[in-house]
């Protein structure tokens, strides 16, 4: 064994045997999702998998791009309550219809599947547990967001997380106990 190889091997062995020297990789902090604004709901779109890593999963509503999802990316879209229809498209088109409710956070996952010429985007409803189980997700860059309204920019998410959470309006006990009143007899 050459002296230089022996020296490197002994240095590595000594360094890793030293207490506190071993490089520890802390688990990343869980992604914080702010509550939707009053009177709105929201959808967290995310993309996992490595198939079609060079392709973006461009999420559109009413023909306008909301945001593109690269591999390992997510974004949060604030939406009015009601029915929303989202499309993703390459050589094939996939559609996801969601009923958004006031105060609700929904999740939607996008994957790229095998296609004939290029990958085919597949968008589907998901759960918070599936979102949380996805590894190393990062928020999309503002440059990947489209002209359609709703996708929160990173600074908007930070501001929403920093804002105090309003307390629910209290209903006086007497008014709740009396029930509805009638003005006519």
| CA-derived radius of gyration, the chain | 24
- Domain membership flag for residue 101: yes
Tens of pLDDT, residues 111-149: 877 655 556 788 999 999 999 999 889 999 988 888 888
Our measurement of the distance from residue 55's CA atom to the centroid of its chain's CA atoms, rounded to an integer in Å, reads 18
Query: Which pLDDT does position 28 carry in this prediction?
Result: 65
Structural domain including 151 reads: 41-159
Query: Which pLDDT does position 85 carry in this prediction?
Result: 96
pLDDT over 80 at 67, yes or no = yes
Q: Grade residue 64 by pLDDT with cuts at 50, 70 and 90.
A: very high
- Domain membership flag for residue 19: no
Domain count, the chain: 1
Closest CA to 47 of 73, 76, 77: 73
- Domain membership flag for residue 122: yes
Query: Which pLDDT does position 13 carry in this prediction?
Result: 42
User: What single-letter DSSP state applies at residue 163?
Assistant: S
- Domain membership flag for residue 113: yes
- Domain membership flag for residue 53: yes
- Domain membership flag for residue 75: yes
Contacts of 152 (CB under 8 A, 6+ apart): 75, 76, 77, 78, 160
By CB neighbour count within 10 A (0-12 exposed, 13-18 middle, 19+ buried), where does 122 fall?
Answer: middle
Contacts of 14 (CB under 8 A, 6+ apart): none
CA dist., res. 39 & res. 81, Å (int)? 8
pLDDT over 80 at 2, yes or no = no
- Domain membership flag for residue 116: yes
CA distances from 118 to 53, 92, 164 (A): 11, 9, 46
């Amino acid at each position: 064994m050459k002296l230089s190889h022996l020296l490197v091997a002994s240095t590595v062995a000594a360094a890793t045997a030293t207490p506190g020297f071993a490089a520890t990789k802390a688990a990343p902090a869980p992604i914080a999702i702010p509550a939707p604004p009053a009177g709105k709901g929201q959808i967290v779109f995310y993309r996992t998998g490595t198939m079609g890593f060079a392709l973006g999963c461009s999420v559109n509503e009413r023909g306008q791009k909301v945001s593109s999802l690269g591999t390992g990316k997510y974004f949060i879209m604030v939406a009015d309550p009601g029915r929303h229809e989202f499309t993703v498209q390459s050589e094939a088109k996939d559609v996801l219809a969601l009923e958004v409710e006031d105060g609700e956070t929904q999740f939607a996952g996008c994957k790229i599947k095998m296609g004939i010429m290029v990958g085919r985007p597949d968008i589907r409803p998901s759960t918070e547990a599936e979102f949380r189980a996805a590894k190393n997700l990062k928020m999309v860059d503002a440059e990947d967001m489209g002209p359609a309204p709703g996708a929160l920019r990173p600074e908007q998410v930070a501001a929403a997380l920093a804002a105090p959470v309003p307390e629910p309006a209290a209903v006086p006990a007497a008014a709740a106990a009396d029930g509805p009143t009638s003005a006519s007899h």
